[in-house]
Structure 1
Amino acid sequence: MKTKTILSFVVLAALAGCQSGPIDVLYKEDSTRAERQQAYDQCFIQALKDVPQNMVTEVTGGYSVPGVIDCNTDGENTICGEVGGYTTPVSSYSYDTNEKLRNRVINRCLADKGFSTIERPICESRNERAAYSLLPTQPNAAQIACVAGQSFDPN
């Protein structure tokens, strides 16, 4: 019985640790969600034109250390096998070398349109998140205690 109680406590503690901290939110007083989305999309598209993706793939690993061949003879039969040795598999990952520059271009474009970013925590209660989501426009930054999530969809 104690094991179940301890396990439950560990699971709840782990879940509590999963709550995210403050997030950056696109901000412009009196802007609607649609206006923020449109501004971001326009800046993102322009930044992709100005700073296109440059995908690079790096490959690491992929080597093998041979083992020792060991043979055993039993009468007329000889059986051989490799003992020891190992192989490290090839691993690779890809990344965009222009991503950081493109993000700076996006941020500069948004700033030119009057947007900035503010850092706010995600609202803890469902009612707080719903209240923020129902706002027709963003109030003054000082009046935003928490947010429901991103103020636009970056995907």
Structure 2
Amino acid sequence: MKTKNIILFIILSFTLASCASRPKLYPNETLKAKGKEASEADIDQCLKDADTYLDSSEGKKIVKSAGFGAAVGGAMGAVAGAFYGDIGGGAARGAAIGGTGGAVSGSLTPDQVKHRYVNQCLADKGYNVIGWN
């Protein structure tokens, strides 16, 4: 039962993390001068550009390396779980540990890469991103 709960938690976490989100802008001079409608259009363009870039071969390399820690951790956990009779639980624990290790070592999730791309795109247009919703 514990293994199923852990796996469900991991799936739910990834599902919620991949929900569409948008940047929130600081009301600086650029935002005030352009207005809400033009600013939303700039956000939409940056989001579209990010999707295009991340679908490119260079973008795919970055995203692929981001999940490496979780994949290795999951495989190692499954092997360890086989020795203790809990392959599923071992894989889930290993993926969680590997994913955390990957994050600590600088790996980024696809959403984090997209957020960074969009933040830079908007900064280039004169906006300041204060967060994402």
Instruction: Give 1 or 2: higher strand fraction.
Output: 1
Alignment TM-score, normalising by the size of structure 2: 0.40
Instruction: Give 1 or 2: higher helix fraction.
Output: 2
Which structure's CA Rg is the greater one? 1
Alignment TM-score, normalising by the size of structure 1: 0.36
